[in-house]
Structure 1
Amino acid sequence: MKKTTLLLLFFGLIVSAQNNRMIYEYKFRPDSTKIDSLKTEWIYLDINKNGSKYYSKKAFENDSIVNESIKKQMASGMRSISVSRQQSGSDISYEVEKTYPEYKTFLVSNIGNDSYKVLEDRKPNWKILSDKKQIGEFKVQKATANFAGRNWEAWFTTDVPIQDGPYKFSGLPGLIVEIADQTGSHKIELKGIKKIVEVQKEELNTEGKNIPYTKKKPLEVNRQQYVKQLKQYENDPVQGMREILSRPNSKVMINVNGKEISDPKDILRELEKNAKEEMVKNNNKIELIP
């Protein structure tokens, strides 16, 4: 009876004009050299009749706090905007958008202080197997695929008739309830479904101001162009900030772990140090081949 009620609720959500939120738990090991580096993030997959958006709950909340702080500083007439990005921020800064019914997939990601919207030109080549089991309230079936350098095992349910899932995964005859890579270092599992009211996104007008850590309108590029930018960033992770600081009358102050820094040389040195440390620690990304 409980399962029937849940499925009827979901069908009601799909038919309605409201947004529907799939709540996933994402467990991942960012550092392949450390078994104890396992982390957990709560990820939302928001679905409506036009498509879906996959993003980190924590990143969304942190961005809201930063934007509110900037908005107050701008309203008070402050000439210098101070941005604090603490280490308690999300490890998942990217978003994935899909458009229905063609399931065109885009990665929205930052490289340095720039944002990119990347059209994905690859699709998982699913092999649907006969294996079936129960996960929570759902009867699920197994499927496997290779995508972006990893072998994936997915469990999908035809109880929810929508061919979507977390991250860039879609194309199965039902919602993906669980998916994990063969190494066990990335696992995403559905934990809840809820209806949400669509809220109009407020755009922060920062025209004429170069403010680090704020979201900008992403530049649309293809995957090859994005990979080129990634390689440039790995070679020089502070190039974007260096360009900002070299502009006339440019003044930037950052807060790193409670320490305020305003000298351009110190900013570049601190940001480069942190960026390179993060690259070393995050050597086990969800895509081995971006």
Structure 2
Amino acid sequence: MKKTFQILFIFLFAVINAQNTANRFFYELTYKPNKDSAKLEKEMMALDIDQNKSVYQSYELIGLDSLANVMVTESLKTGNMADVNRIGGKKQSKFLHRIFKTHPVQEIVYNDQILMDYYSYRENPNLIWKISDEKQKIGAYNTQKATTDFGGRKWTAWFTTEIPFQDGPYKFYGLPGLIVKIEDDGKNYSWELKGNRKIDHIKDTLYMEGFIKQSGLSSSKEIPKEKFLEKYEQYKKDPLASMRQLLSQLPAGVDLPDNSITEKMREAEKKMKEELAKNNNSIEIQEKINKRK
């Protein structure tokens, strides 16, 4: 009887453990950040999938968040200020958004950071796919062609039924298998599957997002998509507006040590505006207000 209980316990543990694990699919994103330039850039993205949901995000963002977790933990243990140069020396992600899908997908949740604040919106992309008989081998997978219109662009996808997840990078989903490659007809954005591995579980909230929220330095709001687009447009025009608002709330009689902070803010704002102006080729272009990548 004791042996039977041991076998049952091992079986239940294996089942629970299997349910908690997830698959991480790595997509190389090749994109054109500036619509007036032919220059292409690349970034590795990750799509984490388990039985119930998926999360799409930058793999660079995952790495930076993990490093920030280590640094803050070390700082709290030792009482010493963290060496911010450790993060400054790492490649910074150009994509701060995270996209959540609950299976079966009825809607997606898009979460993004604008300066210190986090915003999210819900959306049903309502993707209508046209599946072709055309097939080709991409990497190790036998794939089939499908096309759709989304975000003001025409997209061609190649999916495989060898991986039974009806999902894909960014907001794409709904084909009878995992999307291995997808790109728009102008080759502004192209994702291609490069590998996968098991992970323990999907993180709904990144460490730094939770840490910043707990500190009270930022807010987190779910708003309609149109409001998000308006907020991002305002951010592009005045990137440090919220920072100036925080400084204006300092108690009366508190003086900044010198003018260097104001001067540094001006320099930072100039660089931010220049960078935002260069990144003018959003993934989705159908709205009058351009969306953030």
Q: Give TM-score, length-normalised by structure 1.
A: 0.80
Runs of 5+ consecutive residues of structure 1 not aligned to the other structure: 1-12, 211-215, 253-260
Q: Which of 264, 267, 276 is matched with 2:273 structurally?
A: 276
Q: Secondary structure at the match of 1:160?
A: coil
Q: CA deviation at 1:247?
A: 2.2
Distance change >3 Å, CA 70–CA 269, structure 1 → 2:
farther
Q: 1:43 is aligned with what amino acid?
A: M
Q: Secondary structure at the match of 1:178?
A: strand
Partner of 1:53: 55
Structure with a larger share of its residues in strand: 1
Cα deviation, 1:122-159, whole Å, max 9, x if unaligned, reads 22221112211111222111111111111111011122
CA distance in structure 2 between the partners assigned to 1:205 and 1:112 by the alignment: 12
Partner of 2:211: 204
Distance change >3 Å, CA 282–CA 205, structure 1 → 2:
closer
Q: How many residues align?
A: 263
Q: How does 1:1-290 map to 2 (within 5 A)?
A: 16-17=18-19, 18-35=21-38, 37-73=39-75, 86=88, 88-198=91-201, 203-204=210-211, 207-208=214-215, 210=217, 218-248=220-250, 263-289=260-286, 290=291
> Which of the pair has more CA radius of gyration?
2
Q: Give TM-score, length-normalised by structure 2.
A: 0.79
CA distance in structure 2 between the partners assigned to 1:172 and 1:189 by the alignment: 16
Q: 1:31 is aligned with what amino acid?
A: N
Percent identical = 35
Range 126-135 or range 65-74, more displaced = 65-74
Q: CA deviation at 1:268?
A: 2.6
Q: CA deviation at 1:178?
A: 0.3
CA contact (8 A) 1:32 1:283 kept: yes
Distance change >3 Å, CA 217–CA 237, structure 1 → 2:
closer
CA contact (8 A) 2:55 2:202 kept: no
Q: CA deviation at 1:70?
A: 4.2
Structure with a larger share of its residues in helix: 2
CA distance in structure 1 between the partners assigned to 2:29 and 2:61 by the alignment: 14
Q: CA deviation at 1:229?
A: 0.9
CA distance in structure 2 between the partners assigned to 1:42 and 1:223 by the alignment: 26
Q: Secondary structure at the match of 2:145?
A: strand
Cα deviation, 1:159-208, whole Å, max 9, x if unaligned, reads 22221000000011111010001111211001112111227765427645
Q: 2:146 is aligned with what amino acid?
A: A
Runs of 5+ consecutive residues of structure 2 not aligned to the other structure: 1-14
